[in-house]
Amino acid sequence: MALSLTLFEEAPLSLTFGGTLSPIQVAYQTYGTLNENKSNAVLLCHALTGDAEPYLPPPNKGWWQDFIGPGLAFDTDQYFFICSNVLGGCKGTTGPSSINPQTGKPYGSQFPVITVQDIVNVQKALLDKLNIPHLHAVVGGSFGGMQATQWGISYPHFVDNIINLCSSLTLSAEAIGFNHVMRQAIINDPCFNQGDYYEGIAPDNGLKIARMLGMLTYRTDIQLAKAFGRETKQHGQMWGDHFQVESYLTYQGEKFLDRFDANSYLRLLRALDLYDPAQGFENESSALTRIKANYTLVAVTSDQLFKQIDVHKSRQRLIDAGIKVNYHEFNSTFGHDSFLVDYDFFEPMIKQALKK
C-alpha cells in the first residue's frame, strides 16, 4: 500500500495558470535502500493513468512490475527508487475527487487547471520532505517523460540524469485532437454535470468511450491484427461488440472505470496537451539550455501517439540547445505501450543511462 504525506500546509502551491492549492496530499512508494551519502536516489515518473506503485507484491502486479528488483533494469540493489502519484490524479494524491477543505465536498469542477510544471513542483516538495538532497536520475515514459524533461529545466542542479522513454518535448496536433475527442466523450455524457457528479451518477459511458479511443493510440495495427484480425463473436451484437476487437476495446473501457476518475482524466489529458518547456521563459531554447543532466531519449518507430518524426524533432531541438542526447530507437509491435512491456529492449538502455 502506498505511503502518504501532506504538503503545502503552511504556504499553498502557486499554480502555473493561476490559483493555489493547499494542503496537498501525496501518495508515494519507495524501493531499495538510500545509501549513506544519499547519492543513489532515482525518481520514477508514471504515465498518464499510472499510480505511485510500479511494483506490487505478487500476486498483484504494478505497471513496471517486471522492471523493478535486484539485478533488473531498475536495480534495487544499487538504487533507491521513489515514485509518487501525480497532482490531479485519483490514486492517493490530491485531485478533483479529493475533499476541498473550503467546502467539505469534492473539488469537482472547482479543481484548477494543472500543468507538468505544477506536477514537478509537487514532486520536488515531496523529495524535500523526505530529505533527499539530490537525484541520480529522473526516469519517465510518455507523460512521465515530459515530467523528466521538466525536472532538468526547473531544477537543473538537482538531477544528474534524465531518461525519457517514448515522449517528445511537446504533443503533436494529431495527439491533441485525439485528446479533444476523448474529453468531448466525457463532458457530453448526460451524467457529467459540469464535473460535479460525485453525489450522483458518474459519467461512466463517456469515460469508457474515451478510454477505448485512447487504447487505439497505445497499440499498433500489427498488434491488433495479430490478436484479433476480423474475427467475430459467436453471439455478437450488430451495433455493439460484433468483432472481437470491439469486444476487447469494450472490456478495456469497462475495466478502466474501476480505477480512474473522469475529472482526473480530463485534467491530466489537458496537462499533456499544455506541456511546453518554454512556459515561463523567453523561448524554448532559453528553457532547454538550463538542462545540465545527461539526457537519454528512447523512441519506438511504431509508436502511434509520440510518433517517430516528433521524437526526431525533439531530439534536434535538444541538440540545437547544446544538449548532448544519447538517442536510441527500435521497432516493437507493442507501439507506445512498449516501454511498459518490452523489457528486453529497454533493459540495456536503462541500465546504461543509469550508469552515467
**DSSP states of 91-110 as a string?**
SSS--TTSEETTTTEE-GGG
Which helix (H) or strand (E) segment holds residue 319: the answer is: helix 308-320
Q: Is 44 helix (H, G, I), strand (E, B) or coil?
A: strand
Cell of 12: 499553498
Beta strands at 24-31 and 3-7: parallel, antiparallel or unpaired: antiparallel
**Sequence-ordered list of residues with C-beta below 8 angstroms from that of 302, at least 6 positions apart, any chain:** 220, 222, 331, 332, 333, 334, 335, 338
In DSSP terms, which residues pair with 6 in a beta bridge? 25
Cell of 270: 489537458
Question: Among the options 167, 303, 314, 332, which is catalytic?
Answer: 303
In DSSP terms, which residues pair with 325 in a beta bridge? 295
The reply, when asked if residue 183 is annotated as ligand binding, is: no
* Region label for 253, one of left (φ > 0), alpha (ψ between -120 and 50) or beta (otherwise): alpha
> Among this protein's residues, is 142 annotated catalytic?
yes
**DSSP conformational letter for 279:** T
The reply, when asked if residue 315 is annotated as ligand binding, is: no
Cell of 285: 531554447
A 10 A CB-CB count for 190 gives: 9
**DSSP states of 260-275 as a string?**
--HHHHHHHHHHHHH-
Cell of 245: 476487437
Question: Among the options 84, 142, 168, 264, which is catalytic?
Answer: 142
Question: Among the options 51, 97, 118, 336, which is catalytic?
Answer: 336
Using CA atoms in the order 156, 162, 167, 171, what is the torsion angle rounded to 10 degrees? Answer: 0
Do residues 223 and 199 lie in contact, with contact meaning Cβ atoms separated by under 8 Å?
no
> Among this protein's residues, is 303 annotated catalytic?
yes
Give catalytic residue positions. Answer: 142, 303, 336
Residues annotated within a binding site for substrate: 211, 337
Residues at the binding site are: 211, 337
